[in-house]
């Protein structure tokens, strides 16, 4: 496997205790609007929009909110003019970080990101300073408590997956980035309930962090994702189970 997102795994466990639904909805709406702006309002022909809508539905976002966000993106309704901006840098322990934003004011956003990085033991890098350390891949998440592992692996590979792994209570199915929805559809046709599907950036290699570096890194990643303009953050780190337990 090319890699996996340890930060994604940590957030999975934190999700049950973090009550940030309103802020989460705001980020989802921005992503839907941006996806519709770039690729049109039909999710069948716009993979990014389909992913954004599926994620919003999984978060129980009302249908009318989703439809309004799509219309703002296509210009049917007046809305804020957003753009995609990716920032790259380093965190504590030399961990490479990619920060994906949807913003109406890149000057404000870069200042916010730089502040969080510098005050969190990291620094902002130039474009392409760390992106070469990641592979763009599709990932599909399935509740591991509901399916036998051997059976699930067979279904995933038959559906066209590139790789399959169990991470505690989740199965993670890895695909080519442009195949994630095809594989998702094939799994659902085999009666597999998909918890989430996305296109992400997976680290080619990871840096092990521990102790104060691990604590500082997790604090930094969470503070970056708390920024209104930040959609998601990926980083190339590993840490021991006891470090994760205190995250």
Report the pLDDT averaged over residues 3-13. Answer: 62
- Domain 12-74 falls in which CATH fold? Arc Repressor Mutant, subunit A (1.10.10)
The alpha-helical segments, DSSP class H, found in the chain are 6-14, 21-39, 47-58, 63-74, 106-119, 149-158, 180-189, 211-225, 241-245
Q: Which token pair is 200?
A: 């992400």
pLDDT beyond 50 at 16? no
Q: Which token pair is 64?
A: 């009318």
Query: Residues 99, 85: contact at Cβ < 8 Å?
Result: no
Q: How confident is the model at residue 25 (pLDDT cuts 50, 70, 90)?
A: confident
Q: What is the pLDDT of residue 21?
A: 57
- Domain 135-203 falls in which CATH fold? Alpha-Beta Plaits (3.30.70)
Q: Which residue reads 């504590």 in tokens? A: 92
Q: How confident is the model at residue 89 (pLDDT cuts 50, 70, 90)?
A: very high
Which percentage of the chain shows pLDDT scores above 70?
Answer: 88
CA distance 102 to 69: 14
Query: Taking the domains of the chain in order of start, what are their residue ranges?
Result: 12-74, 83-132+205-239, 135-203
Which percentage of the chain shows pLDDT scores above 90?
Answer: 80
- Report pLDDT digits (tens) over 177-214: 999 999 999 999 999 999 889 999 999 999 999 999 99
Q: Which token pair is 130?
A: 């760390």
Same fold, 83-132+205-239 and 135-203: yes
pLDDT beyond 90 at 13? no
Question: Which option is the CATH number for 83-132+205-239: 2.60.40.10, 3.40.50.2000, 3.30.70.980, 3.20.20.150?
Answer: 3.30.70.980
Q: What is the pLDDT of residue 244?
A: 63
Report the pLDDT averaged over residues 74-78. Answer: 94
CA distance 199 to 150: 25
Q: How confident is the model at residue 2 (pLDDT cuts 50, 70, 90)?
A: very low
CA distance 88 to 65: 31
pTM, full prediction: 0.84
Q: Residue 97 — φ and ψ, nearest 5°?
A: -130, 135
- Per the prediction, the chain carries an average pLDDT of 90
């Amino acid at each position: 496997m090319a890699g996996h997102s340890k930060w994604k795994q940590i957030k999975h466990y934190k999700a049950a205790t973090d009550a940030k639904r309103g802020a989460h909805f705001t980020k989802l709406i921005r992503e839907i609007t941006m996806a519709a702006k770039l690729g049109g309002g039909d999710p069948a022909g716009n993979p990014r929009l389909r992913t954004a809508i599926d994620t919003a539905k999984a978060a129980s976002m009302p249908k009318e909110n989703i439809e309004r966000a799509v219309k703002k993106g296509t210009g049917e309704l007046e809305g804020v003019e957003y753009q995609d901006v990716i920032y790259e840098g380093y965190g504590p322990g030399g961990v490479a970080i990619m920060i994906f934003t949807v913003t109406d004011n890149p000057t404000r956003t870069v200042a916010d990101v730089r502040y969080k990085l510098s005050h969190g033991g990291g620094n902002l890098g130039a474009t392409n300073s760390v992106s070469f350390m990641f592979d763009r891949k599709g990932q599909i998440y399935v509740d591991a408590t509901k399916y036998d592992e051997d059976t699930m692996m067979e279904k995933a590979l038959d559906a066209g997956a590139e790789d399959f792994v169990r991470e505690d209570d989740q199965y993670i199915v890895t695909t080519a980035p442009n195949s994630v929805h095809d594989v998702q559809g094939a799994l659902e046709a085999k009666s597999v309930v998909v918890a989430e599907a996305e296109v992400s950036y997976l680290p080619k290699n990871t840096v092990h962090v521990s102790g104060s570096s691990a604590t500082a890194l997790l604090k930094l990643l969470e503070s970056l994702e708390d920024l209104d303009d930040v959609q998601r953050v990926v980083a190339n780190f590993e840490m021991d189970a006891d470090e994760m337990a205190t995250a």
